Amino acid sequence: MIGRLLGHVVAESPEGSLIIDVGGVGYDVLAPLGTLGRASREPDGRVAIFVHTAFRQDSLDLFGFASEHDRRVFRLLVAVPNVGPKTAILLLGGIPPAELASVVRNGDLARLGRVPGIGKKTAERLVLELKSKVAELQPPGEAPTPAAQVLGPGAADRVLLALTGMGFKPAVAQAAVRALGEIPADKPVSELIRDALAQLSR
């Protein structure tokens, strides 16, 4: 059972797949969006990733997280019926644990439904199953985070989802999206995300 890796990230895909070199061995790990930005690093550049090892009949899959708490939340998610590991990874990439606690507490089905792969029934099941475990979702030492408000349909929501997935606080991400002003209907989301990141770097 692999529980933690400490090594250099030698490859990263847009889908969240990381290859971590540990002593010359490359481990293929699937992680939520924004994990590398939140993970702790050694002075030599090595990154520490907490790992959940999943055994299946024909494969062994590794799922990586920036903290032990993130891994615990992942395990709570996959214990919910019809929520598989990859759906849980997408969920944690789109809604950080502190915000997820508020989303569940408030029964915000719309917010859950904006995560790819989560339909209405799955969102309802998540709220039902996790309502009694909100305290476990909340990162230790952090005050409850209010669920992000919807800024508008389409591109704005997708930019907000991407920013929170990168580790930015919902309020900070919302401010960056608002600073973009009126969003042209034909502007690519990738450009909007870059513009929002530019706002955050000012």
Look at residue 3 in the predicted model and tell me its pLDDT: 92
Q: What is the DSSP letter of 191?
A: H
Domain match, 35 and 80 both: no
CATH (domain of 47): 2.40.50.140
**Residue 105 · residue 144 · CB < 8 Å:** yes
202 or 97, which is more confident: 97
Domain match, 72 and 102 both: yes
**C-alpha to C-alpha distance for 113 and 136, rounded to whole angstroms:** 22
Residue 188: give the domain boundaries: 155-200
88-112: per-residue pLDDT in tens?
999 998 888 778 888 898 888 988 9
Query: Has residue 72 been placed in a domain?
Result: yes
Query: Has residue 150 been placed in a domain?
Result: no
CATH (domain of 126): 1.10.150.20
Domain match, 54 and 14 both: yes
Q: Is residue 149 within a helix (H) or strand (E), and if so which, with residue range?
A: none
Query: Has residue 149 been placed in a domain?
Result: no
Total domains in the fold of the chain: 3
Query: Has residue 143 been placed in a domain?
Result: no
What is the value of pTM for the model shown?
0.68
**Quick one: tokens of 95?**
């809604």
Q: Which residues contact 173 (CB under 8 A, 6 or more apart)?
A: 148, 160, 163, 164, 196
Look at residue 158 in the predicted model and tell me its pLDDT: 73
Look at residue 151 in the predicted model and tell me its pLDDT: 38
> Facing residues of 30 across strands?
17, 63
139 or 3, which is more confident: 3
26-84: per-residue pLDDT in tens?
999 999 988 888 899 999 999 999 999 988 778 889 999 999 999 999 999 999 988 99
